[in-house]
Amino acid sequence: MLENRRILLIVAGGIAAVKVPDLIRRLRERGAHVRCILTNGGAQFVTPLTLAALSGDKCYQDLFDLKDESEMGHIRLSREADIILVAPATADIMAKMVAGMADDLATTALLATDKPVMIAPSMNVMMWTHPATQSNLQILKTREVKVVGPSAGDLACGEVGNGRMAEVPEIIAALTRFFQKNDGRGPLTGYKALVTSGPTLEPIDPVRYIANRSSGKQGHAVATALAELGASVTLVSGPTHEADPDGVAVIHVETARQMMKACSEALPAAIVVCAAAVADWSVEGAGQKLKKGDKTPALKFTENPDILATLSQPGPGRPGLVVGFAAETENLIENAKLKRAKKNCDWVVANDVSTGSGAFGGDSNTVHLVTADGVESWPTLRKRAVAERLAERIAAYVQRHL
């Protein structure tokens, strides 16, 4: 998918710029044409000669280079590309993109382009989590800027957390998925997928509720990964702090019964992935707030609808592939196999959510894929990578069986 694609690569001033030479090399191995713009900050980490030698083209730096302006021009430079990739994308250049600034060649090209833009953020964890940066990120997403990464881990500053630029294979995979989807050639193009995500909240009274620790990160990542492979995705989500994924129809619910209703109305679908942590029981709630008294109030529980089992029922209209998730604290594989048989779903993704696993609310997951053919144990991966691997497996299954 990258053969003969024209990529304008903007290299901003971050330590992750040292990964750029390898990125250029891998892109060219796949047949892409790469042209580079190097900012003054980026030039502190990598030389224009290096980028020119690896890309096989001139490395552009100066907005007011009259020779370049007469031969190329910043407008032509930005518009002759199929996509503009900013890697690394620093907090500074993201802020300038939001503000529409054009004080150097890189920002001028970004402002003058009519082509898709993808950024690979890289910065200190405090800079990444700062409200200003997160606000800028959301604004860029509303402008359809594609985002790959960042990932969590050790940072060059010595701190640990989100802010590492996505690795080269991740960036190449994101570019590949973009062009597949843009060309209508993704392996899941023409297929409809339904994904559930997050927790459900079951009210006790108008103030209190029963819930669980699900963050929705894994389910949202699955919805994103399926959409990037071309699927038309509906995401039914319980309350989370996760942003709605780009290119996905999102239905927000609170209770298990609301989620069941939304899923039923979203059918038919070829693919269903039930990643939500649905509460097994609801409470016969009180109309008013329960007051503290001499006696502890007794809660009466009612069993909630079993969404996974309902969607897996044999018969006309059953989705071609139903995938459930099993969040367990003991006997992980055994319980996942039992769940697959009991619910009549095709696959179960099992993960350990016991104390200390870091699965609930964390950015990484260690899963086991349970199918009719056996059990695949995957290494610990970022949830985004888990979702991408699962989506690729789903696409392969769909191509063979649906």
Q: Mapped to the 3 state alphabet, what secondary structure does 97-151 carry?
A: HHHCCCCCHHHHHHHHCCCCEEEEECCCHHHHHCHHHHHHHHHHHHCCCEECCCE
Q: Are 262 and 280 in a shared domain?
A: yes
Q: Are 206 and 134 in a shared domain?
A: no
The pLDDT of 107-118, averaged and rounded, is: 93
Q: Do residues 200 and 240 lie in contact, with contact meaning Cβ atoms separated by under 8 Å?
A: no
Query: Residue 356's domain spans which residues?
Result: 192-401
CB atoms within 10 A of CB 396: 11
Q: Does some domain include residue 261?
A: yes
CA dist., res. 166 & res. 154, Å (int)? 13
Domain boundary among 182, 215, 232: 182
Which tokens in the block code for residue 78? 């930005």
Q: Does some domain include residue 341?
A: yes
Q: Does some domain include residue 369?
A: yes
Q: Are 64 and 203 in a shared domain?
A: no
Q: Do residues 166 and 185 lie in contact, with contact meaning Cβ atoms separated by under 8 Å?
A: no
Domain boundary among 155, 182, 209: 182
pLDDT of 302 reads: 93
Domain boundary among 129, 163, 182: 182
Q: Does some domain include residue 246?
A: yes
Q: Does some domain include residue 1?
A: no
- pLDDT mean across residues, the chain: 90
pLDDT of 158 reads: 64
Which tokens in the block code for residue 299? 């809660």
Count of structural domains, the chain: 2
pLDDT at 355 over 70: no
Q: What share of residues in the chain are helix, strand, coil (percent, to 5)?
A: 35, 25, 40
CA dist., res. 40 & res. 213, Å (int)? 45
Question: Could you tell me which residue, 358 or 131, shows the higher pLDDT?
Answer: 131
The pLDDT of 29-53, averaged and rounded, is: 95
pLDDT at 311 over 80: yes
**pLDDT tens column, 227-273:** 988 899 999 999 999 989 888 999 999 999 999 999 999 999 999 99
Torsion 126-130-135-136 (CA) sign? negative
Q: Are 274 and 381 in a shared domain?
A: yes
CA dist., res. 34 & res. 6, Å (int)? 6
Q: Do residues 273 and 226 lie in contact, with contact meaning Cβ atoms separated by under 8 Å?
A: yes
pLDDT of 156 reads: 61
**pLDDT tens column, 137-192:** 999 988 989 998 887 666 665 666 678 898 898 899 889 888 887 777 788 989 99
Q: Are 75 and 215 in a shared domain?
A: no
Nearest partner of 249 among 225, 223, 215, judged by Cα:
223
Q: Does some domain include residue 197?
A: yes
SS3 of residue 272 by DSSP: strand
Q: Do residues 84 and 60 lie in contact, with contact meaning Cβ atoms separated by under 8 Å?
A: no
Q: Does some domain include residue 300?
A: yes
Lowest mean pLDDT across 311-315, 337-341, 361-365, 378-382:
361-365
In order of 325, 349, 352, the CA distances from 345 in angstroms are 10, 11, 20
Q: Are 371 and 259 in a shared domain?
A: yes
Which CATH number is 245's domain given?
A: 3.40.50.10300
Which tokens in the block code for residue 158? 């010595």
Specify whether 59 is catalytic: no
Which CATH number is 30's domain given?
A: 3.40.50.1950
Q: Are 125 and 228 in a shared domain?
A: no
Q: Are 225 and 364 in a shared domain?
A: yes
Q: Name the active-site residue from 157, 263, 274, 345.
A: 157
Nearest partner of 13 among 49, 34, 44, judged by Cα:
44
Q: Are 294 and 177 in a shared domain?
A: no
Q: Are 112 and 209 in a shared domain?
A: no
pLDDT of 118 reads: 96
pLDDT at 52 over 70: yes
Which tokens in the block code for residue 281? 């029981």
Q: Are 293 and 198 in a shared domain?
A: yes
CA dist., res. 114 & res. 103, Å (int)? 19
Question: Could you tell me which residue, 217 or 358, shows the higher pLDDT?
Answer: 217
The pLDDT of 15-27, averaged and rounded, is: 95
Q: Are 47 and 156 in a shared domain?
A: yes
Q: Does some domain include residue 187?
A: no
pLDDT at 299 over 80: yes
